[in-house]
Amino acid sequence: MIARMFLRAGALSLALLLASRLLGVVRESAQAAAFGSGGLADVAVLVLTLPDWLASVVASGALAYVLLPAWGGQPPQQVAALQRRVATWALVLGIVLALLLALARDAVLAALGAGIPSHLRGIAAGGLVWSAVAIPAALLAALWATRLQHERDFVGMYGANLVVNGLLVATILVAGAHAGAPVTVLGIGLVIAMAGRLRWLGRRLPAVPSGAAARIDWPTLPVWAWAWLSAGLPLALPFVARSVASQAGEGALAVFSYAWKLVELPLILAIQLVASLAFPAITRALGEGGTDGAPVRRAFALAWTLACAAAAGLLLAGPALARLLFGWGRMTPEALEQVARWGMAGAWGLLPQALTAVALTVLATRRRMAPAVVGYGLALLAVLGASAAGWNDGLRLMHLLNACQALVAAVCLLAIGPECRRWLPWETLVWGGAGLTLAAGVAALLGHGLPSPGWAAQLAAGAVGAALVLLLAAWRSGDVREALRR
């Protein structure tokens, strides 16, 4: 389903997807410039990200998993009727979550932003009230975006991301210049951005058809539960790690968020996109008991190669990328160095996530998502265990996330069964890993500082390193060449 979305979207929609993700990076850059890496930056990150994160964990992925199959082949009246019913429950859930967050804001702040200094905690608690106000709109936006996905209105879907991020960038710039009450400005801007996104989505929704709908087939509770766990646990993992990192002190939450952005962009735009595009071919090959593993093998090969290339580029150009994206305004050199080191450590986690992304498409085709849920559940317990043990250093948490992602990948690959050994492109794994190892060695020799005169050359080295890893894998692996041709 997700893959069909990308395949039918066309160049314009893919360009909008890229633009929305890049505007998300601009939003983080504006945040770093406006607030730096201190306690106020922690507050800004928490207030602005909490509503959409809650909506993503609680609703976005689960809605796609449940509603898209339920809507498939249904008449417009039936689709609209189910949408209205889900919208009612989404608003009720949103109001309940908003009330709970507003009432328990001090406890939530202690759990999610422990490093925020005491003199900012009252301001931060007030900011969480604004986050609470935005939650119902975030949940309703998730539902409406799912409906546009069903209607194949990809311009509407990705345009909504541009609207909300554009308004938030403007909000951050205004708040950064407002010395009196920046968090209040952020809160008001957040609500305006959520309302603007809803207006955009509402104007793109199809007209409500006339005529009565037949009886609504409401998806069962187990279907919702498995969808929620499958979609929510992967999103919870880095968020919980960020909250644990905040225990280390003021600014740690913001720095971890910036560092994770360095890892997240190639993960979404390359690795997960490959898995999505491969979904239809894998479904055709493995559906109805099929055993043709060629599409799976090609998807593994391309995702792994792109992961190695992205990791090589980040290892070689991490300090320069941190400076380019976040080295503005109030960011200090010490904070930039932390962003670079933590992001470079997280780059190694791209490799297991590449294998997981493809393995999940196979498990989804075979309707065997339970092992993935177990794997992510164990990973989440490991991060919570680190919190209980006081292991809150950001660099260590990045390494722990890498180990957790490796655990999830191993669980998912084992769940595929004995065919996995035949479907894994061993030659590509070796040559892609060799290219990355070479790039890591060069990066270690060059050092991990932030040299002022050489950042442009460092960016060029990262681009060349990534390109060489791609070329090496394509030269030595027929699976990569075949995947690129397709």
Q: What is the pLDDT of residues 311-329, one digit of tens each?
A: 999 999 999 999 999 988 8
Give the pLDDT score at 485: 65
Over residues 420-440, mean pLDDT:
91
DSSP conformation letters of 137-158 = HHHHHHHHHHHHHHTT-HHHHH
Nearest to 436 by CA among 355, 316, 324, 346: 316
d(CA 132, CA 126): 10
Instruction: Say what angle helices 333-346 and 252-266 make with each other, to 10 degrees.
Output: 40
Cα dist. 429→1, 335, 351, 426, 479 in Å? 28, 35, 10, 5, 11
Q: Is the pLDDT of residue 257 over 80?
A: yes
Q: Is the pLDDT of residue 458 over 80?
A: yes
The model's confidence at residue 247, banded by pLDDT at 50, 70 and 90, is: very high
**pLDDT tens sequence across 55-114:** 988 876 778 777 877 787 778 888 888 888 899 999 999 999 999 999 999 999 999 999
Give the pLDDT score at 212: 52
Give the pLDDT score at 222: 77
d(CA 128, CA 17): 29
Give the pLDDT score at 453: 43
Q: Which of 149-153, 332-336, 482-486 has the lowest mean pLDDT?
A: 482-486
Q: How far, in whole angstroms, is CA 342 from its chain's centroid?
A: 17
What percent of the chain has pLDDT above 90?
Answer: 51
DSSP conformation letters of 212-232 = ------PPPHHHHHHHHHHHH
Q: Which token pair is 217?
A: 């087939």
The model's confidence at residue 14, banded by pLDDT at 50, 70 and 90, is: low
d(CA 337, CA 320): 10
Give the pLDDT score at 7: 44
Q: Is the pLDDT of residue 209 over 80?
A: no
Q: Is the pLDDT of residue 260 over 60?
A: yes
**Domain residue limits, the chain:** 1-211, 222-486
Q: Is the pLDDT of residue 5 over 60?
A: no
Give the pLDDT score at 450: 45
Instruction: Say what angle helices 294-326 and 426-446 make with each other, to 10 degrees.
Output: 20
Over residues 35-43, mean pLDDT:
92
Let me know: does 278 contact 3? Beta carbons within 8 Å: yes
Give the pLDDT score at 355: 94
The model's confidence at residue 456, banded by pLDDT at 50, 70 and 90, is: confident
Give the pLDDT score at 57: 86
Let me know: does 351 contact 401? Beta carbons within 8 Å: no
The model's confidence at residue 3, banded by pLDDT at 50, 70 and 90, is: very low
Over residues 430-452, mean pLDDT:
78
pTM of the prediction?
0.89
Over residues 449-458, mean pLDDT:
62
Over residues 294-319, mean pLDDT:
91
Structural Rg of the chain based on CA atoms: 22
Which class for 254: exposed (0-12), middle (13-18), buried (19 or more C-beta within 10 A)? buried
Give the pLDDT score at 268: 80
Q: Which of 37-41, 300-304, 387-391, 453-457 has the lowest mean pLDDT?
A: 453-457
Query: Which residue's structure tokens are 């200090």?
Result: 332
Q: Which of 210-219, 264-273, 368-377, 423-432 has the lowest mean pLDDT?
A: 210-219
Which class for 212: exposed (0-12), middle (13-18), buried (19 or more C-beta within 10 A)? exposed
Average pLDDT, the chain: 86
**Which is more confidently placed, 484 or 187?**
187
